[in-house]
Amino acid sequence: MNRRSHWRRRTRIRAASFLTAAFAVVLGFAVQNHMRAQQYQYLLDTGYRHAFAELATAAGELDTALQKASYATTPALFSSLCTQAYGKALSAQMALGELPYGNVELEQTAAFLAKAGDYAMALSRGAYDAQTCTQEERSGLHALAQTASTLADALQSLQSDLDGRTVTLEDLEAVRSRLSGVSGASAPVTAGSAFQTVEADFPEVPALVYDGPFSEHLSNRTPKCLEGLPLAGQDEARAAAAAFLDLRPEIFTLVSDGAGALPTWGFSAAVDGGEVYVEVTKQGAQVLQVTNSRPVSGAALSREAAIQAAAEFLLQRGYANMDHSYSIDLGDVLTVHFAPRQDGVYCYPDLIKVSVALDNGGLIGFQSEGYLMNHRVRDLPAPAVTADQARSAVGDALKVLAHQLAVIPTGGEHEVLCHEFKCETETGSHMLVYLNAATGQEENILLLLEDESGTLTL
């Protein structure tokens, strides 16, 4: 009896020891994980604080570069300072992108940085075409500098609050929760809410008129391809959507009534196990875009067959003289870029993108905004610079593989007729070099990223 009691006592002691040891191990893991979480959070906080400091610094340097550029009188210095301003705007944008939801929380700031940087780069590119910038351009730089100064002061003030721990930076989950409206009313003051203060006090951004995407005059730009065409009602637009896809009009339901530079009617329909969405312009009843969510069951077509299917689709819908340039394979879907030729000249601004399913060659996607905004019969001048003269201006390190005449966009609404040379570098990679057909000056260089999925341009 005593021996049995002793054995039971030893068993209880042993079990208690095991439980204690297990608890100690679990506690150790918990403490270790907590320490790791704290360390991870510390690293995140440090990264966010560093990104905000970079944003505040770059905004101040952007202000300085813009002020200097607005007073420069020689083309070389003016171009250099404008390039500096572009670099500072780009640095600020990169720092903003590292903050949790920075482009959402600081939407006006992000828009200003993009606009200021693009304007400065546009002036830098044009600096050698004139001895000095115009008074209007100087006024634009002055106005941008004033806005940048106000922004820099606000960010520096917030930086001081962060350094003094008056406010703290939120992590990604906190910002996500607040933006979705689930954060508590008693939450501590954070930099996210302070960002909103910066946005609320954001100065008016000056209107700029230049050859770039943020120019004020482009907001009122009308689609050249739709000029003179009558307005279409819902029924006419629905019929156009159905005819474009060889479907019955009654299966389409109106789902959107869009405004903007290209006002559209939006329709959807259930087709082949997926949803088809079509946008049709209110003026002219032209199809702007198509998306088809049907599942694609493997790739049966070759790239060449898919390109041919896309070309035939365009031809059947009245898009004549369309040539494809580059394509990208997204698994079971091939997206092909097309643009028209006029008198042998390839017109890049009139771009149409066609996405074809590789199982049966059917349409999966279609985008024609570039075509609708820019397409018309152009008055193309005869090149003042011959192809041979332009070829001689291509760098000696490049081997010219092909040549064609092409119209390229300049960033805004203007276009330039160029000699396009496809070239090969000493490492075997490819690029496109564009030389102005009127002046012989280099207009642009694009790098071609080529792999088994297709070709992208940078």
pLDDT tens-place string over residues 124-141: 876 544 455 778 888 888
pLDDT at 40: 38
Q: What is the pLDDT of residues 218-267, one digit of tens each?
A: 666 789 999 999 999 999 999 999 999 999 999 999 998 887 778 999 99
Residue indicated by tokens 């049907």: 294
| pLDDT at residue 399, as a whole number | 95
- Residue among 219, 220, 196, 210 at smallest CA distance from 116: 210
The C-alpha atoms of residue 89 and residue 97 are separated, in whole angstroms, by 12
Phi, psi of 257 (to 5 degrees): -135, 90
Structure tokens, 165: 């721990």
How many helical (H) and strand (E) elements, i.e. helices and strands, does the chain have? 11, 14
* Residue 191: band (very low, low, confident or very high) from pLDDT cuts 50, 70, 90: low
Q: Across the strands, what pairs with 455?
A: 450
Distance CA 93, CA 55 (A): 8
Kindly state the helix (H) or strand (E) to which residue 363 belongs, with its residue range: strand 363-367
Mean pLDDT for 30-53 is: 55
Query: Picking from 17-21, 105-109, 295-299, which range would have the lowest pLDDT averaged per residue?
Result: 17-21
CA 301 to chain centre: 31
Q: Which domains does the chain have, with CATH numbers?
A: 31-220 (no CATH), 225-374 (no CATH), 387-457 (3.10.450)
The model's pTM: 0.65
pLDDT in tens, 71-128: 888 888 888 888 899 889 988 888 887 776 555 667 788 888 988 988 888 888 765 4
Burial of 23 (C-beta count, 10 Å sphere; 0-12/13-18/19+) = exposed
Q: Is the pLDDT of residue 39 over 80?
A: no
CB 116 within 8 A of CB 85: yes
Cα–Cα separations (whole angstroms), residue 93 to 59, 62, 105, 106, 345: 10, 11, 13, 11, 37
CA dist list (Å): 309 to 227, 276, 313, 331, 423: 30, 19, 6, 17, 29
Asked if the model's pLDDT at residue 409 lies above 90, the reply is no
Highest mean pLDDT among 26-35, 82-91, 421-430: 421-430
**pLDDT tens track for 322-378:** 999 888 887 789 999 999 999 999 999 999 999 999 999 999 999 999 999 999 999
Q: Which two tokens stand for residue 119?
A: 């304007």
Percent of the chain past pLDDT 90, that is, above it, reads 43
User: What tokens were used for 293?
Assistant: 């969510």
pLDDT value for 42: 41
In terms of Cα–Cα distance, which of 41, 42, 326, 369 is closest to 224?
369
Kindly report the number of other CB atoms within 10 A of residue 344's CB atom.
9
- Residue 204: per-residue pLDDT: 75
Contact, 324 vs 307, CB < 8 A? yes
> What's the DSSP call for residue 231?
B
**Dist. CA 84–CA 23, nearest whole Å:** 60
| pLDDT value at 430 more than 60 | yes
What pLDDT is stored for residue 167 in this prediction?
Answer: 60
Confidence at residue 124, expressed as pLDDT on a 0 to 100 scale: 82
The whole-chain average pLDDT of the chain stands at: 81
Convert the pLDDT of each residue in 152-183 to its tens digit: 888 888 888 777 766 666 554 555 554 445 44
pLDDT of residue 182: 45
Tens digits of residue pLDDT in 48-78 = 778 888 888 999 999 999 999 888 888 888 8
| pLDDT at residue 36 in the model | 46
Name the most confidently modeled range: 9-23, 28-42, 80-94: 80-94
381 residue type, one letter? P
3-state secondary structure of 453: coil
Torsion of CA 114, 117, 118, 121, to 10 degrees: -170
